[in-house]
Amino acid sequence: MSDHTIQPESDADTAGCLDCIDGMSVTTTQFLGACFRVCTTCQPQCTCCDGHGRFPAWTNDMLEFIASLNNNGLQPMLCHTCGGFLAVVLLDEDSTSDT
């Protein structure tokens, strides 16, 4: 069995950090509402999105998150490095139809 948890890239000690819980700090966005982000105080930031990736608080299953958006005609744009949510675009369901 493999361990799929994300390990911090450095030996940052999150025990003394008052801004987060285990390296993740709580924040809000207009689209997601309550969500998490990598702590800017004690954790290294993603080099791709510069720490702008967000993770929804209502689920820890990103496939469930993606499916819920797809069911509403939306497609999430995720960081290819950390997997955090960056933006949303409309699904183009007519891209395969002949016109």
Please say if the pLDDT value at position 45 is more than 80. yes
Residue pLDDT, tens place only, 48-63: 999 999 999 998 899 9
Please say if the pLDDT value at position 77 is more than 70. yes
Q: Which two tokens stand for residue 22?
A: 């285990």
Average pLDDT, the chain: 83
Calculate the alpha carbon distances from 2 to 10, 16, 56, 57, 65 in Å: 21, 29, 24, 25, 23
**Res 50: pLDDT:** 94
